[in-house]
Structure 1
Amino acid sequence: MRNLIKIAALALSLSDTCYADPDLLLTRVSLDQATHQIIKEHKLTVLGAHTEIIDGREIHIIKVLTADGHIRHYRIDAETGNPIH
């Protein structure tokens, strides 16, 4: 038992410091954030918004009314915040 404790202590002392690099952390985008971004960037009227799982990915779908009266759907990847074309 003492040997096991010594080995564990040695392993911990030889290991590098473990921390989360903020640059490597993924920033999830909420449905609310995605909707507000569409409003801010495109100045469109939002008719509805919801989130679906498509091919194992969380996708925000935002339905908007364009200035010329057409309906358009924006699809935003919830993991990255990037639009899906």
Structure 2
Amino acid sequence: MKQFTLLFVLGAVLVGHAAADDFMVRISLDQATRQVLGSGNHRVLGAQTVMIDGREVHVIKVLTPDGRIRYFRIDAETGAPLG
């Protein structure tokens, strides 16, 4: 009976862990870069992932069609643009 209880608890923990992982969006640096490229006719000059205020942020540096340099910051967990 103890083995069954242990296996049941272990199984429940593993299922709960897998279910929690299903809700994490998490986008890659490549996905964030493609997201930025889709928002305009930009040329990517560089991209990196950095920590800002304890969160991972993808920073994409682009050259705009009018010759300006612009930085896009994308939250790595949600994919949302940051101000």
Q: TM-score, normalised by structure 1?
A: 0.73
Amino acid at match of 2:40: H
Cα distance between partner residues in 1 of 2:52 and 2:62: 20
* Higher alpha-carbon Rg: 1
1:15-30 matches, within 5 Å, as 18=15, 20=19, 25-30=23-28
Structure 1's consecutive aligned runs of 4 or more residues displaced over 6 angstroms after TM superposition are none
Partner of 2:38: 40
Deviation at 1:6, TM superposition (A): 8.7
3-state SS, counterpart of residue 77 of structure 2: coil
Amino acid at match of 1:56: G
Residues 21 and 53 of structure 1, relative CA distance in 2, 3 Å threshold:
closer
Deviation at 1:46, TM superposition (A): 0.5
Task: State percent identity of aligned pairs.
Answer: 49
Q: TM-score, normalised by structure 2?
A: 0.75
Cα distance between partner residues in 2 of 1:37 and 1:59: 14
Deviation at 1:31, TM superposition (A): 0.4
Give the aligned CA root-mean-square deviation in angstroms.
2.6
Deviation at 1:54, TM superposition (A): 1.0
Cα distance between partner residues in 2 of 1:7 and 1:38: 51
